[in-house]
A and B are shown apart, each in its own frame.
Chain A
Amino acid sequence: MNSLVPEIDAWGPGPGAGFTALLRRDLLLAWRRRGEVANPLVFFAMITALIPVAVGPDPLLLARLAPGMVWIMALLGTLLAADTLFREDYADGALESLVLSPQPLWFLVLARVVAHWLVTGVPITLLSPLLATLLSLPSSGLWALVIGLALGTFAFSLLGAIGGALTVALGSGNVLRPLLVLPFYVPVLIFGTGAVTRAVSGGESAGPLALLGVIVALALLVSPFAAAAALRVGIDG
């Protein structure tokens, strides 16, 4: 039956459309400046090379330090990259149109976080077995390291979004953002390194990894909402 009135979708595109649109835009932008996106990875690799120089090339000592060192470097790498999470959009005004759009802001924040994780956390995770081997980590710990980092870097991105949103209006080049979020990284670091240490010593690493999953789930519940609230505060003020 043909109606004279054209069918109008009164509800507009659903939240899923906004999510995928933002995700695609962010990934496309990242792809177009691949060199810049690769910087955290280069940082990650360079610091790895500095550790044996600093503490000496003894393989036994390096193997003991490796789980903690790789985790700390992954943390610093994602922290470094989190600076671009909201700042550029704030500077060119795109953030305001995101806030004003009829899409739920927390869902858009989540899309941004997922894009950030895909661009920084996942490559760091994929690179980590190589660098851990350079630091003579026994191969029995590699799986725990990779699974832990995949979960942990996602938690870092989620928590980093809160810090990025809180400091978005403060102008670039301030060191405040890391100060705000680093305390929240402590549990992730504990369970992440705990899993690797256990796996290396022949124990069961599923427990710490499951707890890491719990932290990711909690961060998923809290962080998009907190970051969205902080973005609104930053834009109002």
Chain B
Amino acid sequence: MARSGALWQRLHRWASPPGFYRLSTRWLPWLGAASLALLVLGAIWGLLYAPPDARQGHSYRIIYLHVPSAFLALAGYYVMAVAGAIHLIWRVKLADMVMSAAAPLGAALTFLALFSGALWGKPTWGTYWVWDARITSMLVLLFLYLGVMALRQAYSSRETAGRACAVLALVGTVNIPIIYKSVDWWYSLHQPATIRLTAAPSMHPDMFKPLLVMILAFYVFYAWVLVLNTRAEILSRERRAAWVGELAEERVS
């Protein structure tokens, strides 16, 4: 019991905005260094050393940006929704800060996935936009992110905005799998699979390994940016708190 009590105390200290701020100051250099190293490694490996594709030539190399950002766009929604749930249930202020930091980040990654996909589509399919199942569900995901961001903007009270966004994000988590399945079904109904990406399992290991590195790099990068965004959110919300004032004086002196 004593041990679990100590654990709870620690958890509470981490979950307080100043506690998290101090703790994350120690993480930041490691996260930054790891994500930069992995990004550089994955990019050089994927762009220079992976073999060109038999059919698509060099243009396929955009997957090293496209696939990881699509991964994180989807995972980011769940990060946001889980943070929202923690805020809604336990009223942890830090969770709401994480949530409001995760929304624009996830929206940016979704946009990046859509944009890189469109650029890739031009040489591969001959057009920037095809109403393919995955593209359509990514577009719906972008709308879901934008909805959460717009709802947060609309409320003048921060506390209410956080809880309203959490409810919306949680409803979204139930809906995302349904939307994905239904869009798949819609696609198979409307048009046979004439246009298909080169299927991932048939990928050559020499192409696949740098992709794995890039996915890992994006995960670490996501964590880094999320922590940075959350810290900025903490400072802006607690700017009148004494500890932020002390921090600012420390920096100046």
Q: Are B154 and A170 in contact (CB under 8 A)?
A: yes
Cβ of B185 under 8 Å from chain A = yes
A-contact bits for B165-176, CB 8 A (1 contact / 0 none): 001101110110
The 10 closest A-B pairs by CB, nearest first: A237-B160, A187-B182, A190-B186, A233-B163, A183-B143, A180-B147, A190-B182, A230-B167, A237-B157, A183-B140
**What are 9 A-B pairs with beta-carbon distances under 8 A?**
A162-B171, A179-B150, A186-B179, A187-B178, A187-B181, A187-B183, A230-B164, A233-B160, A233-B164
Closest to B186 in A: A190
Q: Does B49 contact A (CB under 8 A)?
A: no
A67 at the interface (CB under 8 A from B): no
Q: Report the minimum CB–CB distance from B67 to chain A (whole Å).
A: 23
**B178-A170 in contact (CB<8A):** no
Q: Does A218 contact B (CB under 8 A)?
A: yes
Using CB atoms, name the residue of chain B closest to A162. B171
Q: Is A226 an interface residue (CB 8 A)?
A: yes
* A226 touching B170, Cβ below 8 Å: yes
Please pick, from A170, A211, A222, A223, the residue contacting B155 in the complex, using a CB distance under 8 A. Answer: A170
B144 in contact with A186 (CB, 8 Å) = no
Q: Which residues of B contact A90 (CB under 8 A)?
A: none
Residue of A nearest to B187 (CB): A190
Report A174-219 residues with CB < 8 Å from chain B CB: 174, 176, 179-180, 182-184, 186-187, 190-191, 194, 197-198, 211, 215, 218
A236 within 8 A of B: yes
For the A-B complex with A169-B160, A223-B171, A233-B160 known, give 14 more contacts whose Cβ atoms are closer than 8 Å. Answer: A169-B155, A174-B154, A180-B168, A183-B143, A187-B175, A190-B183, A190-B186, A191-B182, A215-B178, A218-B178, A230-B168, A233-B164, A234-B164, A237-B161
Is A78 engaged at the interface, CB distance under 8 Å to the other chain?
A: no
Contact A183 B175 (CB under 8 A): yes
Decide if B167 touches A226 in the complex (CB within 8 Å).
yes
- Say what secondary structure dominates the interface of chain B: helix
Name the CB-closest residue of A to B161: A237
Tell whether, in the assembled complex, residue A236 and residue B178 are in contact, meaning their CB atoms are under 8 Å apart: no
Bound together, the chains give a CA A180 to CA B185 distance in angstroms of 24
A residues less than 8 Å from B144 (CB atoms): 183
Looking at the complex, which one of B161, B167, B185 makes contact with A190 (CB distance below 8 Å)? B185
- Chain A residue with Cβ nearest B165: A166
Which residues of the other chain, B, contact A190 by a CB distance below 8 angstroms? 182-183, 185-186
Question: A176, B150: Cβ atoms under 8 Å?
Answer: yes
Chain A residue nearest to B163 (CB atoms) is: A233
B159 located at the interface, meaning its Cβ lies under 8 Å from any Cβ of chain A in the complex: yes
Contact with B along A150-180 (1 / 0, CB 8 A): 0000000000001000110110001010011
Alpha-carbon distance between A210 and B150 when the two chains are bound, in angstroms? 34
Contacting residues of chain B (175-197) with chain A, CB-CB under 8 angstroms = 175, 178-179, 181-183, 185-186, 189
Task: Please state if B151 and A166 are interface contacts (CB–CB under 8 Å).
Answer: yes
For the complex, give the distance between the alpha carbons of A131 and B210 in Å: 56
Cα separation A190 to B182 with both chains bound (whole Å)? 7
A166 touches B179 (CB 8 A): no
Q: A184's contact among B163, B167, B171, by CB below 8 Å, is which?
A: B171
Minimum C-beta distance from B55 to chain A (A): 31
A229 at the interface (CB under 8 A from B): yes
- Complex contacts, B216 vs chain A, CB 8 Å: none
